[in-house]
Amino acid sequence: MNRRQLRHLALASLVAVAATGCASHPPMPTVEHVDLERYMGDWYVIANIPTFLERGAHNAVESYSLNPDGTIATVFTFRKDGFDGPEKRYTPRGFVRSDNNAEWGMQFIWPIKAEFLIIYLDENYTQTVIGRSKRDYVWIMAREPSIPEADYQRILAFLAEQGYDTSEIERVPQRWD
Protein backbone atom coordinates (compact mmCIF):
# COMPACT_ATOMS: atom_id res chain seq x y z
CA MET A 1 0.00 0.00 0.00
CA ASN A 2 1.52 3.32 -0.98
CA ARG A 3 1.43 6.49 1.13
CA ARG A 4 -1.46 8.02 -0.77
CA GLN A 5 -3.63 4.91 -0.34
CA LEU A 6 -2.65 4.74 3.33
CA ARG A 7 -3.70 8.37 3.87
CA HIS A 8 -7.03 7.77 2.11
CA LEU A 9 -7.64 4.65 4.17
CA ALA A 10 -6.75 6.47 7.40
CA LEU A 11 -9.05 9.37 6.54
CA ALA A 12 -11.92 7.07 5.57
CA SER A 13 -11.43 5.05 8.76
CA LEU A 14 -11.45 8.18 10.92
CA VAL A 15 -14.62 9.43 9.25
CA ALA A 16 -16.26 6.03 9.74
CA VAL A 17 -15.30 5.91 13.41
CA ALA A 18 -16.47 9.49 13.98
CA ALA A 19 -19.78 8.81 12.28
CA THR A 20 -20.46 5.60 14.20
CA GLY A 21 -21.92 7.52 17.11
CA CYS A 22 -24.30 9.29 14.70
CA ALA A 23 -25.88 6.11 13.36
CA SER A 24 -29.66 6.04 13.56
CA HIS A 25 -29.92 2.32 12.90
CA PRO A 26 -30.67 -0.25 15.57
CA PRO A 27 -27.83 -2.60 16.49
CA MET A 28 -27.07 -5.24 13.87
CA PRO A 29 -27.94 -8.73 15.12
CA THR A 30 -25.19 -11.29 14.65
CA VAL A 31 -25.35 -15.06 14.34
CA GLU A 32 -25.68 -16.99 17.58
CA HIS A 33 -22.19 -18.53 17.54
CA VAL A 34 -19.18 -18.86 15.22
CA ASP A 35 -16.79 -21.80 15.48
CA LEU A 36 -13.63 -19.86 14.64
CA GLU A 37 -11.66 -22.88 13.47
CA ARG A 38 -14.42 -23.81 10.99
CA TYR A 39 -14.71 -20.20 9.84
CA MET A 40 -11.01 -19.91 8.96
CA GLY A 41 -9.93 -20.37 5.36
CA ASP A 42 -10.80 -18.83 2.01
CA TRP A 43 -14.03 -16.96 1.30
CA TYR A 44 -14.85 -15.69 -2.21
CA VAL A 45 -16.55 -12.29 -2.23
CA ILE A 46 -19.77 -12.88 -4.18
CA ALA A 47 -21.21 -9.39 -3.77
CA ASN A 48 -20.78 -6.30 -1.61
CA ILE A 49 -21.35 -2.65 -1.04
CA PRO A 50 -17.74 -1.88 -1.86
CA THR A 51 -15.39 0.33 0.07
CA PHE A 52 -13.30 2.74 -2.01
CA LEU A 53 -10.47 0.19 -2.02
CA GLU A 54 -12.70 -2.52 -3.50
CA ARG A 55 -14.24 -0.60 -6.40
CA GLY A 56 -13.52 -2.51 -9.61
CA ALA A 57 -12.47 -5.68 -7.76
CA HIS A 58 -12.46 -8.97 -9.68
CA ASN A 59 -11.71 -12.41 -8.19
CA ALA A 60 -11.87 -11.02 -4.66
CA VAL A 61 -10.97 -13.49 -1.92
CA GLU A 62 -10.77 -12.96 1.84
CA SER A 63 -8.64 -15.53 3.70
CA TYR A 64 -8.58 -15.96 7.48
CA SER A 65 -6.24 -17.87 9.76
CA LEU A 66 -6.19 -17.98 13.54
CA ASN A 67 -3.04 -16.66 15.18
CA PRO A 68 -1.69 -18.19 18.42
CA ASP A 69 -2.63 -14.97 20.28
CA GLY A 70 -6.30 -15.33 19.23
CA THR A 71 -6.21 -12.62 16.58
CA ILE A 72 -7.16 -13.38 13.00
CA ALA A 73 -4.62 -12.96 10.23
CA THR A 74 -6.48 -11.74 7.17
CA VAL A 75 -5.35 -11.59 3.57
CA PHE A 76 -7.65 -9.83 1.11
CA THR A 77 -6.67 -10.15 -2.55
CA PHE A 78 -8.31 -9.13 -5.81
CA ARG A 79 -7.56 -7.99 -9.34
CA LYS A 80 -8.19 -4.28 -9.94
CA ASP A 81 -10.55 -3.32 -12.79
CA GLY A 82 -10.46 -6.67 -14.59
CA PHE A 83 -9.46 -10.31 -14.42
CA ASP A 84 -6.05 -9.39 -15.85
CA GLY A 85 -5.69 -6.23 -13.77
CA PRO A 86 -2.98 -5.70 -11.18
CA GLU A 87 -3.30 -7.82 -8.05
CA LYS A 88 -4.08 -5.90 -4.88
CA ARG A 89 -3.34 -7.39 -1.47
CA TYR A 90 -4.29 -6.09 1.97
CA THR A 91 -3.50 -7.73 5.30
CA PRO A 92 -5.68 -6.38 8.11
CA ARG A 93 -5.83 -8.12 11.46
CA GLY A 94 -9.09 -9.27 13.05
CA PHE A 95 -9.83 -9.07 16.77
CA VAL A 96 -12.72 -11.07 18.22
CA ARG A 97 -14.82 -8.77 20.40
CA SER A 98 -17.62 -11.05 21.62
CA ASP A 99 -18.05 -14.35 23.45
CA ASN A 100 -20.01 -15.78 20.51
CA ASN A 101 -17.11 -14.95 18.10
CA ALA A 102 -19.49 -13.14 15.71
CA GLU A 103 -18.31 -9.58 16.37
CA TRP A 104 -14.82 -8.62 15.27
CA GLY A 105 -12.81 -5.47 14.92
CA MET A 106 -10.86 -5.38 11.65
CA GLN A 107 -7.71 -3.29 11.84
CA PHE A 108 -6.12 -1.94 8.68
CA ILE A 109 -4.33 0.89 10.50
CA TRP A 110 -3.50 1.11 14.19
CA PRO A 111 -5.41 1.98 16.38
CA ILE A 112 -8.63 1.94 14.33
CA LYS A 113 -10.66 -1.27 14.32
CA ALA A 114 -13.59 -1.22 11.91
CA GLU A 115 -16.77 -3.05 12.90
CA PHE A 116 -17.02 -6.51 11.30
CA LEU A 117 -20.20 -8.44 12.21
CA ILE A 118 -21.00 -11.97 11.08
CA ILE A 119 -24.72 -11.57 10.52
CA TYR A 120 -25.38 -14.69 8.46
CA LEU A 121 -23.65 -18.06 8.37
CA ASP A 122 -25.16 -21.23 6.99
CA GLU A 123 -24.88 -24.39 9.06
CA ASN A 124 -22.27 -25.90 6.72
CA TYR A 125 -20.02 -22.83 6.86
CA THR A 126 -20.23 -22.42 3.09
CA GLN A 127 -21.98 -19.02 2.89
CA THR A 128 -21.62 -16.00 5.14
CA VAL A 129 -22.51 -12.32 5.30
CA ILE A 130 -20.45 -9.65 7.02
CA GLY A 131 -22.34 -6.50 7.95
CA ARG A 132 -22.03 -3.28 9.87
CA SER A 133 -24.49 -1.53 12.19
CA LYS A 134 -24.49 1.55 9.95
CA ARG A 135 -25.64 -0.59 6.99
CA ASP A 136 -23.03 1.21 4.88
CA TYR A 137 -20.99 -1.83 3.81
CA VAL A 138 -21.76 -5.52 3.44
CA TRP A 139 -19.98 -8.56 2.05
CA ILE A 140 -21.71 -11.73 0.81
CA MET A 141 -19.10 -14.48 0.72
CA ALA A 142 -18.91 -18.20 -0.02
CA ARG A 143 -16.41 -21.03 -0.04
CA GLU A 144 -16.91 -21.34 -3.82
CA PRO A 145 -16.67 -18.53 -6.42
CA SER A 146 -20.43 -18.63 -7.03
CA ILE A 147 -23.63 -19.50 -5.22
CA PRO A 148 -27.02 -20.62 -6.55
CA GLU A 149 -29.20 -17.70 -7.64
CA ALA A 150 -31.94 -18.77 -5.18
CA ASP A 151 -29.43 -18.49 -2.30
CA TYR A 152 -28.28 -15.07 -3.52
CA GLN A 153 -31.87 -13.78 -3.70
CA ARG A 154 -32.63 -15.19 -0.23
CA ILE A 155 -29.58 -13.39 1.18
CA LEU A 156 -30.63 -10.13 -0.51
CA ALA A 157 -34.10 -10.47 1.07
CA PHE A 158 -32.44 -11.10 4.46
CA LEU A 159 -30.29 -7.97 4.02
CA ALA A 160 -33.35 -5.88 3.12
CA GLU A 161 -34.97 -7.10 6.37
CA GLN A 162 -31.84 -5.93 8.23
CA GLY A 163 -32.24 -2.41 6.83
CA TYR A 164 -29.80 -2.50 3.93
CA ASP A 165 -30.54 -0.72 0.66
CA THR A 166 -29.99 -3.75 -1.56
CA SER A 167 -29.83 -1.58 -4.70
CA GLU A 168 -26.32 -0.61 -3.52
CA ILE A 169 -25.08 -4.21 -3.49
CA GLU A 170 -22.86 -5.10 -6.44
CA ARG A 171 -21.84 -8.54 -7.61
CA VAL A 172 -18.09 -9.12 -7.64
CA PRO A 173 -16.96 -10.76 -10.90
CA GLN A 174 -15.39 -14.16 -10.25
CA ARG A 175 -13.72 -16.24 -12.98
CA TRP A 176 -11.30 -19.02 -12.11
CA ASP A 177 -9.73 -21.47 -14.54
17-24 long-range contacts (CB < 8 A, ≥24 apart) are: 17/112, 17/114, 19/134, 20/115, 20/133, 20/134, 23/133, 23/134
pLDDT at 12 over 80: no
pLDDT at 107 over 90: no
Beta strands in 67-157, from DSSP E residues, in sequence order: 72-80, 87-90, 93-96, 103-109, 112-121, 127-131, 138-142
Rounded to whole angstroms, how far apart are CA atoms 171 and 173? 6
Rounded to whole angstroms, how far apart are CA atoms 96 and 89? 22
Q: Is residue 153 part of a domain?
A: yes
Full domain range(s) for residue 49:
3-171
Domain of 58: which CATH number? 2.40.128.20
Number of domains forming the structure of the chain = 1
* Overall pTM > 0.75: yes
Q: Is residue 176 part of a domain?
A: no
Supply the pLDDT for residue 113.
Answer: 76
